[in-house]
Amino acid sequence: MGDCDSGWVSPRDLADRVARDYAGAFGHAPAGVWFAPGRVNLIGEHTDYNDGFVLPFALSVGVAVAAGRLGNGITVSSRQCAGAVVTAPVDGLAPGAVDGWAAYPLGMVWSLTQAGYRPGSTTIAIDADLAAGAGLSSSAALECAVGLAVADLHGLPVVRAELIRLASKAENEFAGAPTGIMDQSAVLLCQAGHALLLDCRSGASDDVPLEPGAAGLALLVIDTGVRHALTDGRYAQRRRSCEAAALALGVSSLRDLPDGPGDLTGLADPELRRRARHVISENRRVLAAADLLRRGDLAAVGQLLTESHVSLRDDFEVSWPQADVAVETVIAAGAIGARMTGGGFGGAVIALAPVTEAVGVRMALDEAYSRHDWAPPAIWPAVPSHGARRLR
Ligand code: GLA
């Protein structure tokens, strides 16, 4: 949802603020407030649409919506877009009818109607303390917060597994971003103190303990300041390359290939070979990371994070200069691993560092960015948090 600005706000003030915005815009108190978090993918990038494995966790920051059952059709307003208001009739929604930020909330309502649900008129105010386009799933958070609110308000019997599919459909078909199911799954299923190991083929998931503080470690999210849009064609191009590689190798998806030398000799095109090598090796790293977490060895995951970054940089070619500099800098300054996170071409880096090194890491990043004439990156410790829920 990269076309509106979002500054950081204390999460505890978000529910109050969005309820006030709602009352200001619509003249009465909302019926409720719902919240959906952003997510950081610990490891498992560009594996979800290859039927593979991912290991994301939910953040404490995200998107809040205040909603009520009034109005005529669906009306959405967004603080991050200076209070802009968009209205559409529930039955008149169709892909292509709306673009920009409003495609995500209205696409979610469209997706519910496509599944046979009949939500009534709804007014919605939106607020966020999560930057859009930062690789932290602001789009999925917006879809899922709206989906939960509309389902709750109108008594629609949509279970979370179905909401994941409907939110993905909204993103793919209404907003036009050909993404996989990781983000919506993370936003809706994650538990506090855990990462979510998700098998994107079967949909099976497992909560894996992730409590960096208890190990004297911090998971630092570094917003590189570069914004990306998953609708700009480069993400879709990577997805097509993976499908072409699977077809050439005679498998239904790259998930079906074991990790090992020689398996890719059937691919004549060196670029497709690199793309496939990333996906295959990344699946192995996700499963290895989940095993280490189950054994309580978070520190050993650091090496896997850095290997993932190198693979995304050199084989999948979705990293960007500010991310590469951030990864190199934090490791030189004492982090035990780091990688770009999310779809790539902009967004955030995640670093695993001893708590005692966090200040040094921050100073080193500021210095490195200033040497390149880049604005200092925003950095904050990520706490694995609860998935989407009703706040009041
Ligand atoms: C974006 C997409 C996800 C996933 C990641 C890359 O976040 O929304 O579905 O493909 O990129 O791992």
The pLDDT tens digits for 306-357 are 999 999 999 999 999 999 999 999 999 999 999 999 999 999 999 999 999 9
Q: Report the first-to-last Cα separation within the chain, whole angstroms.
A: 25
The verdict on the CB of residue 282 being under 6 Å from ligand 1 is no
Residue among 230, 285, 339 to mutate when testing ligand 1 (max atoms within 8 A of CB): 230
pLDDT attached to residue 228? 81
The verdict on the CB of residue 315 being under 6 Å from ligand 1 is no
The verdict on the CB of residue 17 being under 6 Å from ligand 1 is no
Q: Which helix (H) or strand (E) holds 77?
A: strand 74-78
pLDDT attached to residue 83? 77
Query: What distances in angstroms separate CA 345 from CA 20, 96, 233, 235, 383, one per listed residue?
Result: 36, 25, 11, 9, 25
pLDDT attached to residue 2? 39
Confidence of residue 11 (pLDDT cuts 50, 70, 90): low
Distance 19 CA to ligand 1 centre (A): 31
Under 8 Å between Cβ of 67 and 31: yes
d(CA 65, CA 126): 5
Distance 312 CA to ligand 1 centre (A): 13
Residues with catalytic roles: 183
- When mean pLDDT is compared across 10-14, 52-56, 201-205, the lowest value belongs to 10-14
d(CA 184, CA 37): 10
Instruction: Enumerate residues 6+ apart whose C-beta is below 8 A from 273.
Output: 245, 264, 267
Q: What is the pLDDT of residues 257-294, one digit of tens each?
A: 987 766 788 899 999 999 999 999 999 999 999 999 99
pLDDT attached to residue 10? 62
Residue among 46, 185, 237, 318 to mutate when testing ligand 1 (max atoms within 8 A of CB): 46
- Looking only at the bridges linking them, the beta strands covering 74-78 and 122-128 are parallel
pLDDT attached to residue 380? 92
The verdict on the CB of residue 49 being under 6 Å from ligand 1 is yes
Q: Whose CA is nearest to atom 9 of ligand 1?
A: 180
Whose tokens are 């007014």? That residue is 123
Confidence of residue 3 (pLDDT cuts 50, 70, 90): very low
d(CA 87, CA 65): 16
As a whole number, mean pLDDT of residues 208-227 equals 97
pLDDT attached to residue 4? 44
Amino acid at 280: I
d(CA 68, CA 306): 46
Average pLDDT of the residues of the chain: 94
The verdict on the CB of residue 316 being under 6 Å from ligand 1 is no
Q: What is the pLDDT of residues 61-95, one digit of tens each?
A: 999 999 999 888 999 999 988 878 999 999 989 99
Under 8 Å between Cβ of 99 and 159: no
The verdict on the CB of residue 182 being under 6 Å from ligand 1 is yes
Taking only Cα atoms into account, the Rg of the chain, rounded to an integer number of angstroms, comes to 20
3-class state of residue 143 by DSSP: helix
Whose tokens are 């505890």? That residue is 12
pLDDT attached to residue 5? 43
As a whole number, mean pLDDT of residues 53-62 equals 96
Q: Whose CA is nearest to atom 1 of ligand 1?
A: 343
The verdict on the CB of residue 342 being under 6 Å from ligand 1 is yes
pLDDT at 31 over 50: yes
As a whole number, mean pLDDT of residues 176-185 equals 96
Q: What percentage of the chain carries pLDDT values higher than 90?
A: 88
Q: Whose CA is nearest to atom 5 of ligand 1?
A: 343
| Atom of ligand 1 at shortest range from CA of 177 | 8
pTM over 0.85: yes
| Side-chain half-sphere CA neighbours of 257 within 13 A | 32
Confidence of residue 201 (pLDDT cuts 50, 70, 90): very high
Q: What is the pLDDT of residues 121-150, one digit of tens each?
A: 999 999 999 888 888 999 999 999 999 999
For 53, other C-beta atoms within 10 Å of its C-beta total: 24
Distance 22 CA to ligand 1 centre (A): 31
d(CA 195, CA 162): 21
Distance 200 CA to ligand 1 centre (A): 12
pLDDT attached to residue 1? 43
Under 8 Å between Cβ of 301 and 43: yes
